[in-house]
Amino acid sequence: MGTEIRVPVLPESVSEATIATWHKKIGEPVKRDEHILDVETDKIVLEVTAPDDGVIQSISKKEGDTVASQEVVGIFEAGAASSAEQPAVPAAAQSSAPAASTPYAANAPSSPSVRRLASENDVDLSSVSGSGKGGRITREDVAGKKNNVTELPSARLETVQTVPTGEGRVEKRVPMSRLRSRIAERLLQAQQNAAILTTFNEINMQPVMDLRAKYKDKFEKEYGVRLGFMSFFVVAAVEALKRFPIINASVDGSDIIYHGYSDISIAVSSPRGLVVPVLRNVENMNMAEIEKQIALYAEKAKNGKLSIEEMSGGTFTISNGGVFGSLMSTPILNPPQSAILGMHKIERRVIAEGDNVVIKPMMYVALSYDHRIIDGSESVKFLVAIKELLEDPARFLLDL
């Protein structure tokens, strides 16, 4: 009797998931612990691996199907099996599999969505070199082979609708990924349920830049990680949160919850969209520990390895739009948090320094906050505290 392939246990906050990619076909040999399936939630992609050497006997949920926690999506049969002994493909899998007459179907390492995209655009997969893991052919590989194939975002290509709008003009309707849908839902929720206001200030980054330039090589040699700007902002934010604890609080019904700790959410870009892992108990971390954790999260985000636990919680968020060139923006709250700090591009500008006109590397910063519990004066003072700390980094060392 075969072993059931189940959806991983989902946390209480996640009610359902989507079958993203089957990496193995029915009857294809699989090694123990080999990656066979991706399940996408609204936060991360969960990997399912083979419990032993063997083959996938059947698939009951195809790519794009919605599934629940621990739901059975297929049957795995332990033990070796030759290609001649492959079982018949059930109806559930046939809908996404290519026709038997397709010449590349038997040997091309690609997902059903990639094979369908190739079929729709007359691309012979046997002539495509795969750039994915283990030589797998990706959507980008197919798009590069056929000029009129548009590179599509991470979504279920089986449900793409191609709508001709005239000669040479094509539109593609692509459903949102579960992560993008969740982001949209949370952003709309934040705007509807909170009285969001934003205050701005600017920071002379010269002192931080000088300090970083002086010690970055020694810092990297000592701790094995680069000294970036984010750790300076995290430390300054934690100090400012101690002075203004309402910024670190959240609303729960008619109550205000004050958090006696600083769990800082750091917005990180990933191939699937923006994710926000959490640095926990930052008040107990030094700058090297902060930089190491940020670097670890960035690597995990790039490879889709962040866990749900690493992205849950958080009492305050810092987002750096400056890495993309943003000069100024109004960041949106990350519910149930009550405030978010937005960093921006450092740009040399003419400013007045006393009675002199000088050119300094300046950064606009923005604090969006929930005006239901945070007064304007508190938000302004909080941002001024961050400005003062960063314009005089010695305050970090002297605790002033």
Q: Do 266 and 279 meet the contact criterion of CB atoms below 8 Å apart?
A: yes
Report CA torsion sign: 86, 90, 125, 133. Answer: negative
Taking the mean position of all CA atoms in its chain, how far away is CA 322? 17
List C-alpha distances in Å: 335 to 15, 178, 190, 276: 18, 18, 6, 12
CA separation for the pair 88, 90 (Å, rounded): 6
**Active site amino acids:** 371, 375
Q: Looking at beta carbons, which pairs linking 114-117 to residues 24 or more positions away fall under 8 Å? A: 114/138, 114/139, 114/141, 114/142, 114/157, 116/157, 116/158, 117/142, 117/149, 117/157
Burial class from Cβ neighbours inside 10 Å (0-12, 13-18, 19+) for residue 180 reads middle
Burial class from Cβ neighbours inside 10 Å (0-12, 13-18, 19+) for residue 328 reads middle
Q: Do 375 and 367 meet the contact criterion of CB atoms below 8 Å apart?
A: no
CA separation for the pair 211, 218 (Å, rounded): 12
The structure tokens listed for 160 are: 């793409």
